[in-house]
Amino acid sequence: MAIHMRRKCLLTLFVTTSLMLGYIVLSSFRTAHTLNSTSLEINKEETNKEEVKESEPFVYDKIDVKTEDLPTKSGLEGNSLANGCSVKETDPLDANILKYIKDFGEHNCSDEETRRRTTITRTKRNITHLEMNGENFQSVQMRNILYDESTGKHKNDEFKELFQAQLELDIVKGGSGMIRNLKSKRCISPSSTNYTTPDTITLKFTSVCTTPHTVFIFNDKGYLKHNLTGRCITPEKSPIVQNTKLVLSTACTHAFNVSSEGVIMHKESTFCVHPLWGGETPEENQELCLWLDCATNGRLQYNFFHFLEGKSYSLVAASPVEALELSIKYSSKDSKDSIFLLDLLPKNLPSSSTATNIYVLCFDEISLSHFQRKLPLSYTYMSEVMQLNIYKKYASVNPSLRDNTLTVINGDVDKGTESLFVTASKKEYATLYTSDSVVSALSKDFIQAHHNSAPFFHAVHQNFGVSSKHCINSQPVYDISLSYLDAFITSYKLNAKLAYLAISGITKFNFNLVGYMDKRLKQTLELLHKQTNSIVVIHSVKGSLTGKLGQLAVGRVEYKKPLLGIYTSPDIRDKILIKKSNHLVGPYDIHVTLKNILTNEKSKHKFGMSLSDEIPDRNCNEAGVYKTMCPCTS
């Protein structure tokens, strides 16, 4: 009361007197601020912290999030309101917020350079198809990303060589490649590419070992045949003496032997291939000849060299795991592409199609109002087509994505009761858990799912990182998670399914970015809407306090008003009744409701109640909501 009286005096002083400019500015700021906070009925305990400076966009709210992110049960004390919970209505189209809402258009994750070099698909579940442009391309390695059950994170398998664009092979009959000198790294090449001449073509050493003109075949007869022309390496004349030149000739009558050390010997004369007129190492454009010496040293040793520059190549690799890392190296510069793949590989599980499917979609930082503003296609589909029950008095237990996930799954921020995943597994459900937040990744003690994306996202963050565009491998991060869920839904048509999906990254840092996923999310909602015998729970943890939303009083109210919507497929609405409620509900209630559906039994919980029952008017303490997230104003 004293604070409001002081502000009222300032307002009166401003209207009735003409003071110096500094006092007018100060009074104007306090007056406007008082009007905002009065109209929105901010909680009493917040009033002393209400002032927001332009340079401090988060002020008390961000401090609360940091200090109470992982509260103890004592944090529930003192936040109860004796006569239930009254929540202030907010307008998604509030003019104070709309002026900061921007449409960023389509989400562009394309990386032209990487896309030009590689195209990757996993078309047959465990089969990876890699289309590569060979320009400056050197090698491909692949390793499995494995699940560390003790930490819920990842552990890397050893890299396996899939392919090398530069290979050095022994010259054996039936083989082919560039004939490269081991010491000089120069290859044997025709001195001219005018192959129409009937005359012989001399041979030379060249450092350009990347063209089809340097490819030879060592056939079963011992002939060294030029791959493009079919001509063979032969002595220029007979009889053969020392320094007899070697040429390409249409007459293929001279055979060669190649020792295990790579020394090439003319079979008839037993002379060996040398650089013409000798030298310590073959020089650029130096011609070739036959010489008596066949010593084993680098200048007389050769191998078949392969370099695939300028061509496109396709690789097919099989892997028994869902998460892979491909390492692609390039020879033109000291660089590589790290490409991470996640694809659902169905397991052979017993059929359980008569049980009810449960799908939970969780979003980290997006309020009910902001969901309506930035995801209008999805929200319209949810509310008008799916006709979800929207709970306008939903509140999270605290601001932590991890804790709210655990509360829904386990019935507590710690281990709590038996996990929904454990219960579902006993009922022979197929189960999936995916979260793009590595901070909230949970160990097997908490999440026991048949499919878990945690090792994939941990490997990405540790070895590569998510780009500032919120992309991985030219694909939006949220699209990877939603595609993982979509594949799960379509792969287990004969099984009851439990899936929990959490999307965090795109909801943080900039409150306008979340609009990117509107069309993509709607596609998954359309798929969910087609499912029969299904419950779909869509909820968020909190509103965003980034940027201007954290400065506006209405933004801070929205922070404590997350989304909860529940959809029941029409075929089971008579059997499973999910009631609407105008009273306070929270994650504990979601847990109890889903546990009851899984077990067909009534569950008792200290804070949670089934949404199939009437929810009484209660306060935050009774619903298990910590003070940090309590939206009640009276």
Q: Are residues 406 and 296 in the same domain?
A: no
Q: Are residues 365 and 228 in the same domain?
A: no
Extract the tokens encoding 623. Answer: 């619903």
Q: 380 and 510: one domain?
A: yes
Q: Which residue has the higher pLDDT, 78 or 141?
A: 141
**Whether residue 505 is found in the same domain as residue 375:** yes
Q: What's the pLDDT band for 495 if we cut at 50, 70, 90?
A: very high
Q: What CATH number is associated with residue 243?
A: 2.80.10.50
Instruction: Judge if 595 and 506 occupy the same domain.
Output: yes
Task: Name which of 373, 379, 382, 380 is nearest 512 in CA terms.
Answer: 373
Q: Quickly state the pLDDT bin for 5 (edges 50, 70, 90).
A: very low
pLDDT in tens, 345-358: 898 888 877 899 99
Are residues 213 and 296 both part of a single domain? yes
Same domain assignment for residues 443 and 576: yes
Q: What is the pLDDT of residue 38?
A: 26
Residues 479 and 559 in one domain: yes
Query: Does one domain contain both 368 and 292?
Result: no
Does 239 sit behind a cis peptide bond, omega within 30 degrees of 0 on the bond before it? yes
Q: Say if residue 402 is in the same domain as residue 253.
A: no
Provide the residue range defining the domain that includes 209.
Answer: 167-306
Mean pLDDT of 570-593: 92
Check whether residue 395 and residue 458 sit in a common domain: yes
Predicted confidence (pLDDT) per residue in 113-143, tens digit: 454 455 555 544 556 666 665 555 667 777 8
Domain boundary pick from 290, 306, 322: 306
- Output the pTM of the full model: 0.68
Residue 332: inside a domain = no
Does residue 595 sit within a domain?
A: yes
Kindly report the CATH number assigned to the domain that includes residue 400: 3.40.720.10
In a domain, 412, yes or no: yes
380 with 512, same domain: the answer is yes
Residue 203 has pLDDT above 80, yes or no: yes
Half-sphere exposure of 486 (CA within 13 A, CB side): 15
329: in domain = no
**Chosen domain end from 278, 306, 334:** 306
Residue 77 within any structural domain of the chain: no
- pLDDT tens digits for range 439-454: 655 555 457 789 998 8
CA 523, chain centre distance (Å)? 18
How many domains, in total, are found in the chain? Answer: 2
Single residue among 244, 278, 306 that ends a domain in this structure: 306
Q: What is the separation, in whole angstroms, between the first and last Cα of the chain?
A: 16
d(CA 293, CA 296) in angstroms, rounded, equals 9
Phi first, then psi: give them for residue 330, nearest 5 degrees. -125, 145
pLDDT band at 153 (very low <50, low <70, confident <90, very high): low
Structural domain contains residue 243: yes
**Residue 395: inside a domain, yes or no?**
yes
Residue 227: inside a domain:
yes
Half-sphere exposure of 61 (CA within 13 A, CB side): 30
